A and B are shown apart, each in its own frame.
Chain A
Amino acid sequence: MTRTETAPPLAGSVNHQTRRSIRLPAETGAAVALAVLVALLGWLNPSFLEPANLLSVLGQAALPGLLAIGMVFVLSAREIDLSAGAVFHLSAAFAALLMLAGMDPWLAGLASVAAGACLGLINGLLAIALRLPALMVTLGTWWMIQGLSLVVGKGQAIVPPGLDSGFFTTLSGKAFLMVPATAIVFVLLALVMHAVLHRTRFGYRVQAVGSNPQAAAYAGIPTSKVRLLTLVLMGAMAGLAGVIHVGTHGAIAPGEGSNFALQAIAAAIIGGTSLSGGHGSVIGAAIGMLILQVILSAMGMLGVDAAWSTFAAGALVVLALAIDRLVKLWRSRRVRHDQHNPPG
């Protein structure tokens, strides 16, 4: 789907041929899917294509999208973080409570991002100390953190005071009268973190550990540190999303963000990040989150019962996995076929 291959015969050992491939960027598939989807919806309902509407979808995608950015790193390192949604909620509640206690909103926001990072650190330390996959550790901490946010929120929405202060007006503001501030943060961070994953030593290590942890350890890559840092990054991204949520919505209600972790994982998978580690695309995950949100908002627009939205999101993940898998199987079968009947 995203690659075309030609096979010029290079001088090979024994009978073995090397193939050269011309690669399109890995995100092409997801981008095409998004474009087709938007075009289809615009054809069904031209008002969908209005910039205001498209930008509001982008704004909706921003918060879970921040989690998806962190999730790409975690998945690339062959881990998974189920607690991200709960971390999001607790950080938001923490920020709101600090503001209630009279702290400066910007400072409270910073403290909450740090709190999110700390929760990620705890996840990471547990995973490394117990030598467990993060999947199991975060399954436990997910419940714990969710329980904690219920305790601090007492089951009610937390509304910080001073909603007219600079913190809230900035975050809920719109640039050029229509671009939500959250969308700008999301797009900028996606671009920066994409570069971090593919162009820095840290990103290199994340992919190396995810591709083959054993080989990474044998090459002297500090695998524990890398896994720890990805989980801290995930926590910090979830914390940031939580703070921005408080800034834009002016409150945090119980239950908000509970499905963010799964949405983030879904977006990463749709965007081409491999669940078995080793490869990830932040931009792909951002596009994946847009696809998810476009479908969800389209369902509202077309009058489908909102209760179906969860089902649709799940079906989309299964579809993305199936397409990815089938393309891989088809490709490897073609490779073997070609080797038996070498062209020429």
Chain B
Amino acid sequence: MSDSPILFVRNVARRFGGTVVLDDMSLVVERGSIHALVGESGAGKSTLTKVLAGIVRPDRGIIEFDGKTATIDSPNAARKLGIGVVLQQPGLFPERPVLANLFVNREPLHNGLISRREMEARSRELLRQLALDVDVHAPLGDLGPGERQLVAIARALLENPRLLLLDDPNSALDQRRSERLFAVLRGLKARGMSMLYASNRLGDALAIADQLTVIRNGRDVLSKARQELTASEEAMVGQLRQSLFPLPFRTLPTLAGTLRPQITVEGLTGGSLFGVSLTARAGEILGLAGSGAQDLLALLFGLRKPRQGLVRFPDGDGLPRTQTEAARRNICMISGERGNGLMPDKSIAFNMANVVVGARDWGSRWYSPKAARGRATRQIEALRIRSAPEMPAGSLSVGCQQKVIIAKWLEIGPQVVLLDEPARGIDIGGKQEIYALIRQMAASGCIVLLHSNELSELTGLCDRILAFHQGRLGGEIAGDDMDAGKLLKLIISGKPADENRRSNRESVA
């Protein structure tokens, strides 16, 4: 066997609509090694993985597999080459049993019929290694998220690929399971399997990788072997995102004695939340992290019904009963989830009228395209959206799409701003602008609540952060304590006592 690299990616580019996802990406995976691909979310990791898996076709660029130029134009082509893949959102079938999910489209046959016994025999050893102790005949939907992720990994491993692509494979795994997974991966490497490991967690990548490539805005900016990485480079990689955040007007004038508008929440229970009490004041960005934080936003926006608890908004009323009521009371919700905010086939002007015309029931009964155009022109100018009002909103880059969503709420002068991962999947430049906008909203006297799964986003942007643990308030950090590590500890464990109980229960399960 030659020593040539197993995978050679040269100048691959891909765009979706107006968004450049992969710009000019190159990378080399050596035989029998683990190559980590590190970058922000939205940098292009997942797209590169999908290109290599035959799910997305590149617009240009060359892919060489095993020394030969390869056209990977379908998932089957990838499979034939010996490329296995674990996607971030694996296509699994929750209603089907675990076994069926392990052998999708290549079930072992016995006399022309699918043989369950053979499936069990083939998968038993691997599941043991992965410490996945579940009933393989139970439907996959009954499993926890971590177990489901392991099933997806097991499925890829069962194909015995020569090159395994892993896209953020441990996002739903706890520490113990992650380590177990890493051990399995190292074992496979020792047996000659090559791997491309995409992650936005530098720590994981450094722990497992032989080589490392940093991807930013769809380009490879650094590619080195793990041991050649100098301390300063390591620090650089770690600090990629530091410059992202606008220097806050941190020295908020402490308006002693004056009454600032605020939201008070007392003993709120609903969704996965249990007995949460907090106060959010105008002028500050309050971060929310952990499980249950998303439900808090949903409750405050009227998307969910509370079971119990008292909430008081600055306008003196309680929780809105519907989203419409929330919008009319100047409570706004900006979600980073694709499809929650934009009408891509309609013009920017149409989108900007969403709240002013669509949600309100006062003002003119007419929809005036001219007024809408004027509104859009103003906001396009103010937020630098770089397009024209009559363009369909879907033609914008993801960052500008998000700005359109923010702008339509700015039109009503919001008092409470609820942000749910507002910068998800956006390129760095766009993120910077959106962070600056969020800062501005707080500075202009809005009450801003920000939920994010990217802890560095929270620590970089927020004045205070509340950590939720299993739907309960775990703790608060502010000021100099602001540090992703401390925050993570609060989210994972809540309290030390909690941690013991949790690990006990898990070992029982």
* Nearest CB of chain A from residue B185's CB, rounded to whole Å: 35
- Judge whether B267 is part of the interface by a CB distance below 8 angstroms: no
Q: Nearest residue in A to B364 (C-beta to C-beta)? A: A201
Kindly list chain B residues whose C-beta atoms are within 8 Å of the C-beta of A13.
386, 397, 399-400, 429-430
Which of A10, A202, A219 contacts B355 (CB under 8 A)?
Answer: A219
- Binary flags per residue of A210-245, CB closer than 8 Å to B gives 1, else 0: 011011111111100000000000000000000000
Knowing A16-B19, A278-B343 are in contact, say whether A221-B358 is a contact too (CB < 8 A).
yes
Which of B60, B325, B345 contacts A211 (CB under 8 A)?
Answer: B345
* Nearest CB of chain B from residue A177's CB, rounded to whole Å: 38
Task: Provide the bound-state CA to CA distance between A294 and B222, in Å.
Answer: 67
Q: Report yes or no: B386 in contact with A220, Cβ–Cβ below 8 A.
A: no
Stretch touching chain B among A17-25, A26-34, A103-111, A263-271: A17-25
Task: Provide the bound-state CA to CA distance between A12 and B387, in Å.
Answer: 8
Q: Report yes or no: A215 in contact with B342, Cβ–Cβ below 8 A.
A: yes
Q: Report yes or no: B339 in contact with A215, Cβ–Cβ below 8 A.
A: yes
- Judge whether B505 is part of the interface by a CB distance below 8 angstroms: no
- Judge whether A156 is part of the interface by a CB distance below 8 angstroms: no
CB under 8 Å from chain A, chain B span 414-453: 427, 429-430
- Binary flags per residue of B338-364, CB closer than 8 Å to A gives 1, else 0: 011111111000100111011101001
Task: Provide the bound-state CA to CA distance between A16 and B430, in Å.
Answer: 13
Task: Provide the bound-state CA to CA distance between A200 and B364, in Å.
Answer: 9
- Judge whether B15 is part of the interface by a CB distance below 8 angstroms: yes
Knowing A219-B354, A220-B324 are in contact, say whether A12-B343 is a contact too (CB < 8 A).
no
* Nearest CB of chain A from residue B317's CB, rounded to whole Å: 15
Kindly list chain A residues whose C-beta atoms are within 8 Å of the C-beta of B19.
16
Q: Report yes or no: A16 in contact with B343, Cβ–Cβ below 8 A.
A: no
Task: Provide the bound-state CA to CA distance between A15 and B20, in Å.
Answer: 7
Q: Could you say which interface size class chain B belongs to? A: 35 or more
User: Which of A11, A19, A23, A221 lies at the interface centre, i.e. has the most chain B CB atoms within 10 A of its CB?
Assistant: A221
Q: Nearest residue in A to B18 (C-beta to C-beta)? A: A16
Knowing A198-B367, A199-B367 are in contact, say whether A16-B346 is a contact too (CB < 8 A).
no
CB under 8 Å from chain A, chain B span 122-142: none
Task: Provide the bound-state CA to CA distance between A252 and B503, in Å.
Answer: 75
- Judge whether A279 is part of the interface by a CB distance below 8 angstroms: yes
Which of A200, A212, A221 contacts B342 (CB under 8 A)?
Answer: A212
Q: Report yes or no: A339 in contact with B366, Cβ–Cβ below 8 A.
A: no
Kindly list chain A residues whose C-beta atoms are within 8 Å of the C-beta of B342.
212, 215
Q: Nearest residue in B to A225 (C-beta to C-beta)? A: B324
Q: Report yes or no: B343 in contact with A200, Cβ–Cβ below 8 A.
A: no
Which of A12, A204, A208 contacts B386 (CB under 8 A)?
Answer: A12
* Nearest CB of chain A from residue B343's CB, rounded to whole Å: 4
* Nearest CB of chain A from residue B353's CB, rounded to whole Å: 7
Q: Nearest residue in B to A202 (C-beta to C-beta)? A: B365
Knowing A204-B353, A211-B343, A221-B358 are in contact, say whether A339-B365 is a contact too (CB < 8 A).
no
- Binary flags per residue of A277-293, CB closer than 8 Å to B gives 1, else 0: 01100000000000000
Kindly list chain A residues whose C-beta atoms are within 8 Å of the C-beta of B364.
201
Q: Report yes or no: B20 in contact with A16, Cβ–Cβ below 8 A.
A: yes
- Binary flags per residue of A192-204, CB closer than 8 Å to B gives 1, else 0: 0000001111111
- Judge whether B388 is part of the interface by a CB distance below 8 angstroms: yes
Kindly list chain A residues whose C-beta atoms are within 8 Å of the C-beta of B322.
222
Task: Provide the bound-state CA to CA distance between A340 and B355, in Å.
Answer: 37
Task: Provide the bound-state CA to CA distance between A21 and B359, in Å.
Answer: 29
Kindly list chain A residues whose C-beta atoms are within 8 Å of the C-beta of B429.
13-14
- Judge whether A205 is part of the interface by a CB distance below 8 angstroms: yes
- Judge whether A207 is part of the interface by a CB distance below 8 angstroms: yes
* Nearest CB of chain B from residue A215's CB, rounded to whole Å: 5
Q: Report yes or no: A218 in contact with B367, Cβ–Cβ below 8 A.
A: no
CB under 8 Å from chain B, chain A span 25-47: none
Kindly list chain B residues whose C-beta atoms are within 8 Å of the C-beta of A205.
358
- Judge whether B381 is part of the interface by a CB distance below 8 angstroms: no
* Nearest CB of chain A from residue B346's CB, rounded to whole Å: 5
* Nearest CB of chain A from residue B500's CB, rounded to whole Å: 40
Q: Nearest residue in A to B325 (C-beta to C-beta)? A: A220
Task: Provide the bound-state CA to CA distance between A20 and B347, in Å.
Answer: 12
Task: Provide the bound-state CA to CA distance between A214 and B341, in Å.
Answer: 7
Q: Report yes or no: A339 in contact with B15, Cβ–Cβ below 8 A.
A: yes
Task: Provide the bound-state CA to CA distance between A19 and B394, in Å.
Answer: 12
Kindly list chain A residues whose C-beta atoms are within 8 Å of the C-beta of B217.
14
- Judge whether B262 is part of the interface by a CB distance below 8 angstroms: no
* Nearest CB of chain B from residue A314's CB, rounded to whole Å: 27
- Judge whether B395 is part of the interface by a CB distance below 8 angstroms: yes
Knowing A208-B343, A218-B340 are in contact, say whether A17-B18 is a contact too (CB < 8 A).
yes
Q: Could you say which interface size class chain A belongs to? A: 35 or more
Q: Report yes or no: B386 in contact with A221, Cβ–Cβ below 8 A.
A: no
* Nearest CB of chain A from residue B143's CB, rounded to whole Å: 27
Task: Provide the bound-state CA to CA distance between A207 and B347, in Å.
Answer: 12
Kindly list chain B residues whose C-beta atoms are within 8 Å of the C-beta of A220.
323-328, 354-355, 358-359
- Judge whether B156 is part of the interface by a CB distance below 8 angstroms: no
Which of A11, A15, A198, A212 contacts B339 (CB under 8 A)?
Answer: A212
Task: Provide the bound-state CA to CA distance between A222 and B357, in Å.
Answer: 12
Q: Report yes or no: B323 in contact with A10, Cβ–Cβ below 8 A.
A: no
Task: Provide the bound-state CA to CA distance between A317 and B401, in Å.
Answer: 35
- Judge whether B52 is part of the interface by a CB distance below 8 angstroms: no
Q: Report yes or no: B388 in contact with A18, Cβ–Cβ below 8 A.
A: yes
Q: Report yes or no: B387 in contact with A10, Cβ–Cβ below 8 A.
A: yes
Q: Report yes or no: A203 in contact with B367, Cβ–Cβ below 8 A.
A: yes
Task: Provide the bound-state CA to CA distance between A18 and B397, in Å.
Answer: 10
Q: Report yes or no: A201 in contact with B365, Cβ–Cβ below 8 A.
A: yes
Q: Report yes or no: B354 in contact with A18, Cβ–Cβ below 8 A.
A: no
- Judge whether B335 is part of the interface by a CB distance below 8 angstroms: yes
Q: Report yes or no: B345 in contact with A14, Cβ–Cβ below 8 A.
A: no
Kindly list chain A residues whose C-beta atoms are within 8 Å of the C-beta of B327.
219-220
Knowing A208-B354, A278-B343 are in contact, say whether A217-B323 is a contact too (CB < 8 A).
yes
Task: Provide the bound-state CA to CA distance between A214 and B408, in Å.
Answer: 16
Q: Report yes or no: B358 in contact with A216, Cβ–Cβ below 8 A.
A: yes
Kindly list chain B residues whose C-beta atoms are within 8 Å of the C-beta of A20.
388, 390-391
Q: Report yes or no: B20 in contact with A219, Cβ–Cβ below 8 A.
A: no
- Judge whether B467 is part of the interface by a CB distance below 8 angstroms: no
Task: Provide the bound-state CA to CA distance between A326 and B400, in Å.
Answer: 29
Q: Nearest residue in A to B391 (C-beta to C-beta)? A: A18
Task: Provide the bound-state CA to CA distance between A336 and B333, in Å.
Answer: 33
* Nearest CB of chain A from residue B286's CB, rounded to whole Å: 21
User: Which of B322, B327, B355, B358 lies at the interface centre, i.e. has the most chain A CB atoms within 10 A of its CB?
Assistant: B358
Which of B328, B358, B361 contacts A204 (CB under 8 A)?
Answer: B358
Q: Nearest residue in A to B329 (C-beta to C-beta)? A: A220
Kindly list chain A residues whose C-beta atoms are within 8 Å of the C-beta of B326.
220
Knowing A203-B367, A212-B342, A215-B339 are in contact, say whether A18-B395 is a contact too (CB < 8 A).
yes
Q: Nearest residue in A to B412 (C-beta to C-beta)? A: A220
Q: Nearest residue in B to A276 (C-beta to C-beta)? A: B345
* Nearest CB of chain B from residue A20's CB, rounded to whole Å: 6
* Nearest CB of chain B from residue A196's CB, rounded to whole Å: 10
CB under 8 Å from chain B, chain A span 175-209: 198-205, 207-208
Q: Report yes or no: B367 in contact with A215, Cβ–Cβ below 8 A.
A: no
* Nearest CB of chain A from residue B379's CB, rounded to whole Å: 15
Q: Report yes or no: A14 in contact with B343, Cβ–Cβ below 8 A.
A: no
- Judge whether B234 is part of the interface by a CB distance below 8 angstroms: no
- Judge whether B4 is part of the interface by a CB distance below 8 angstroms: no
Q: Nearest residue in B to A216 (C-beta to C-beta)? A: B358
Q: Report yes or no: A14 in contact with B341, Cβ–Cβ below 8 A.
A: no
* Nearest CB of chain B from residue A4's CB, rounded to whole Å: 14
Q: Can you add 13 more A-B contacts, CB < 8 Å, to A198-B367, A215-B340, A279-B346?
A: A14-B23, A15-B23, A201-B361, A203-B367, A204-B353, A204-B357, A208-B343, A212-B342, A214-B340, A216-B343, A216-B358, A220-B359, A278-B345
A-B contact pairs, 7 of them (CB 8 A): A10-B386, A18-B387, A198-B367, A201-B365, A201-B367, A204-B367, A215-B354
* In the complex, the 4 A-B pairs of residues with the closest C-beta atoms, listed nearest first: A220-B327, A220-B359, A211-B343, A219-B354
